[in-house]
């Protein structure tokens, strides 16, 4: 089996370093030219990646944004949970916009299927939490992963077999009946018939994607692994229980695609120049005042899947340093720099104080995190327009100082800064050697 030397970064993971919505879609889109395959490894249609190309906006939930590049293959890995109707609608939407998925999109035959009762279970679960609701996207994601772990889930290979499909639906409905009163309203016949129709329509896309990926890497093809959500929403490493139900961190790329960790060469973290979070759970640097609202409006911080307003706050070094450790980030991308353009003062959280003492590591206890008080340094805002700037040298000095400060505090190199939603609104910060081998045209200033 071929294995690329460690310093070539042929296969790269892009991962969110905060609570999701960091702008991964845009960065994946930007990097896609340098890869042959883009593979999504976890989550489901709870994610929403917005990509703007030449003024045209595409919002993708399940299909990797690489689909917008005609010659690239896109994989939905085994770690993803798929709502077949949502996927069909996304494929149809792309096709009607002139983007073809035929022969370019492959769904893992081991990925799990979301059905109607998963959404019902999620609603019941959320309702029962009252004030402590997670604030999920109501897409049935968590209950589908629950069934996967409970070893009663429905994988795509089984979804395609009418007999197994029917048996699985009947067994699931039987098992859930006592716990989920709303399930009585579901007609097994209708659920089965609708599911079977979708299975037939989607069957052309189903493949053993682990084989496809590994054989492609054997042949020297390069793979970009696209994470959804972010490190702090990871089921193991995030702010549990206010998390999503999958491994959004870099480790998920291996389990979620069937490509072993030693075949992957690097991890690129994505973070906003500030912080956002959707749904419940502690958020130490949250701004509950007018400034938070201003950032929300400037950054158009409304969920691309649910439209919910995102909670906004200052950049949090404790969060991104933690993400650096958990994902072993090689480099960081800072997005949405332009959103801070009009601020005269910007704060950066350098760490947390809990009961008077500085925290040494990111706390697992949700009650402790809720009680953590951020320590801030205030820096002068650049108070001028960075929007659309494509060359790092052209950024205002104070904006460059902000980037350097973050790099120093987080303790890692920042390779790119995004100054607007369009593919071309990106400035290169560093000429990092590893990154320039991977993406020469980007690091030579040619985006
Ligand atoms: P779920 O993934 O729908 O189960 O939601 C669990 C938590 O993750 C909620 O707080 C959601 O708001 C959050 N979440 C899920 N997907 C995303 C995303 O793509 N961006 C940001 N937050 C998300």
* Shared domain check, 89 and 219: yes
* Shared domain check, 319 and 231: yes
Ligand 1 atom with minimal separation from the 43 CA: 2
Residues paired with residue 12 on neighbouring β-strands, in sequence order = 224, 266
* Shared domain check, 272 and 388: yes
Query: Cβ distance 152 to 175 under 8 Å?
Result: yes
* Distance from the alpha carbon of residue 43 to the mean position of ligand 1, in angstroms: 9
Q: Is the pLDDT of residue 340 over 60?
A: yes
Nearest protein Cα to ligand 1, atom 8:
244
Nearest protein Cα to ligand 1, atom 15:
46
Ligand 1 atom with minimal separation from the 233 CA: 8
Nearest protein Cα to ligand 1, atom 21:
20
* Shared domain check, 185 and 227: no
Tokens of residue 352, six digits: 């947390």
* Distance from the alpha carbon of residue 147 to the mean position of ligand 1, in angstroms: 19
Query: Cβ distance 247 to 103 under 8 Å?
Result: no
pLDDT tier, 193 (very low <50, low <70, confident <90, very high otherwise): very high
Tokens of residue 177, six digits: 């009946």
pLDDT tier, 57 (very low <50, low <70, confident <90, very high otherwise): confident
Is the distance from the beta carbon of residue 80 to the nearest atom of ligand 1 less than 6 Å?
no
Q: What is the CATH number of the domain that holds 136?
A: 1.10.300.10
Q: What is the CATH number of the domain that holds 226?
A: 3.90.170.10
Nearest protein Cα to ligand 1, atom 11:
136
Q: Is the pLDDT of residue 442 over 50?
A: yes
Query: What is the percent of the chain where pLDDT is above 70?
Result: 94
- Residue 5 inside a domain? The answer is no
Q: Is the pLDDT of residue 376 over 60?
A: yes
**Confidence at residue 3, expressed as pLDDT on a 0 to 100 scale:** 43
Residue where one domain finishes, among candidates 205, 223, 254: 205
Is the distance from the beta carbon of residue 299 to the nearest atom of ligand 1 less than 6 Å?
no
* Shared domain check, 241 and 186: no
* Distance from the alpha carbon of residue 229 to the mean position of ligand 1, in angstroms: 7
* Distance from the alpha carbon of residue 317 to the mean position of ligand 1, in angstroms: 21
- The single-letter DSSP state of residue 308 is P
Q: pLDDT, tens digit, for every residue of 58-83?
A: 789 999 989 999 999 999 999 999 99
Q: What is the mean pLDDT of the chain?
A: 93
Contacts of 85 (CB under 8 A, 6+ apart): 194, 198
Tokens of residue 68, six digits: 């917008």
- Residue 285 inside a domain? The answer is yes
- Residue 445 inside a domain? The answer is no
Q: pTM of this prediction?
A: 0.95
pLDDT tier, 161 (very low <50, low <70, confident <90, very high otherwise): very high
Contacts of 340 (CB under 8 A, 6+ apart): 273, 274, 295, 298, 346, 381, 382, 402
Q: Is the pLDDT of residue 4 over 50?
A: no
Is the distance from the beta carbon of residue 21 to the nearest atom of ligand 1 less than 6 Å?
yes
Mean pLDDT of 429-433: 68
Domain hosting residue 417, numbered range:
12-100+208-438
- Residue 6 inside a domain? The answer is no
* Shared domain check, 153 and 135: yes
- Residue 443 inside a domain? The answer is no
Q: pLDDT, tens digit, for every residue of 269-299?
A: 999 999 999 999 999 999 999 999 999 999 9
- Residue 107 inside a domain? The answer is no
* Shared domain check, 401 and 274: yes
Number of domains the chain is built from: 2
Q: Is the pLDDT of residue 5 over 60?
A: no
* Shared domain check, 212 and 177: no
Residue where one domain finishes, among candidates 205, 234, 267: 205
Q: Which of 137, 145, 335 gets mutated to test ligand 1 (max ligand atoms within 8 A of its CB)?
A: 137
* Shared domain check, 135 and 70: no
* Shared domain check, 302 and 287: yes
- Residue 231 inside a domain? The answer is yes
Query: What is the percent of the chain where pLDDT is above 90?
Result: 84
* Shared domain check, 335 and 229: yes
Residue where one domain finishes, among candidates 155, 176, 205: 205
* Catalytic residue numbers, as ranges: 21, 49
Helix (H, G, I), strand (E, B) or coil at 98: coil
* Distance from the alpha carbon of residue 62 to the mean position of ligand 1, in angstroms: 14
Q: pLDDT, tens digit, for every residue of 197-217?
A: 999 999 999 999 999 999 999
End-to-end alpha-carbon separation of the chain, Å?
33
Ligand 1 atom with minimal separation from the 47 CA: 19
* Shared domain check, 121 and 150: yes
- Residue 7 inside a domain? The answer is no
Is the distance from the beta carbon of residue 415 to the nearest atom of ligand 1 less than 6 Å?
no
pLDDT tier, 10 (very low <50, low <70, confident <90, very high otherwise): confident
Is the distance from the beta carbon of residue 244 to the nearest atom of ligand 1 less than 6 Å?
yes
Is the distance from the beta carbon of residue 229 to the nearest atom of ligand 1 less than 6 Å?
yes
């Amino acid at each position: 089996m071929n294995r690329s030397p460690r310093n070539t970064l042929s296969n790269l993971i892009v991962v969110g370093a905060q609570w999701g919505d960091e702008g991964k879609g845009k960065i994946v889109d930007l990097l896609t030219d340098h890869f042959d395959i883009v593979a999504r490894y976890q989550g489901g249609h709870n994610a929403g990646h917005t990509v703007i190309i030449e003024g045209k906006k595409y919002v993708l939930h399940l299909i990797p944004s690489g689909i917008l590049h005609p010659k690239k293959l896109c994989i939905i890995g085994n770690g993803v949970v798929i709502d077949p109707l949502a996927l069909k609608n996304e494929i149809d939407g792309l096709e009607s916009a002139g983007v073809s998925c035929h022969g370019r999109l492959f769904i893992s035959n081991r990925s799990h299927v979301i059905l109607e009762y998963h959404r019902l279970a999620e609603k019941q679960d959320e309702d029962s939490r009252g004030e402590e609701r997670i604030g999920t996207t109501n897409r049935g994601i968590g209950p589908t992963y629950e069934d996967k772990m409970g070893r009663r889930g429905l994988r795509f290979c089984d979804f395609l077999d009418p007999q197994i499909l029917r048996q699985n639906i009947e067994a699931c409905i039987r098992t859930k009946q006592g716990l989920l009163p709303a399930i009585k309203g579901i007609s097994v016949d209708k659920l089965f018939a609708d599911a079977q129709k979708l299975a037939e329509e989607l069957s052309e896309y189903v493949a053993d994607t682990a084989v496809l990926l590994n054989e492609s890497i054997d042949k020297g093809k390069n793979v970009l692994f696209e994470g959804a959500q972010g490190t702090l929403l990871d089921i193991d490493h995030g702010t549990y229980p206010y998390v999503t139900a999958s491994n959004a961190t870099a480790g998920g790329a291996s389990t979620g695609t069937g490509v072993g960790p030693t075949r992957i060469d690097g991890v690129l973290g994505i973070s906003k120049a500030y912080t956002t979070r959707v749904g419940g759970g502690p958020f130490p640097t949250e701004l509950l005042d007018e400034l938070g609202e201003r950032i929300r409006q400037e950054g158009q911080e409304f969920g691309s899947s649910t439209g919910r307003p995102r909670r906004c706050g200052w950049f949090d070094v404790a969060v991104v340093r933690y993400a650096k450790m958990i994902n072993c980030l090689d480099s960081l991308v800072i997005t949405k720099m332009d959103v801070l353009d009009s601020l005269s003062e910007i704060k950066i959280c350098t760490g947390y104080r809990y009961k008077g003492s500085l925290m040494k590591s990111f706390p697992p206890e949700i009650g402790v995190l809720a009680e953590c008080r951020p320590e801030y340094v205030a820096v002068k805002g650049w108070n001028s327009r960075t929007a659309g700037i494509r060359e790092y040298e052209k950024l205002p000095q104070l904006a460059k100082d902000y980037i350097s400060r973050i790099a120093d505090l987080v303790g890692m190199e920042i390779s790119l800064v995004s100054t607007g939603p369009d593919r071309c609104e990106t400035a290169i910060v560093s000429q990092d050697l590893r990154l320039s081998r991977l993406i020469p045209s980007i690091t030579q200033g040619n985006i």
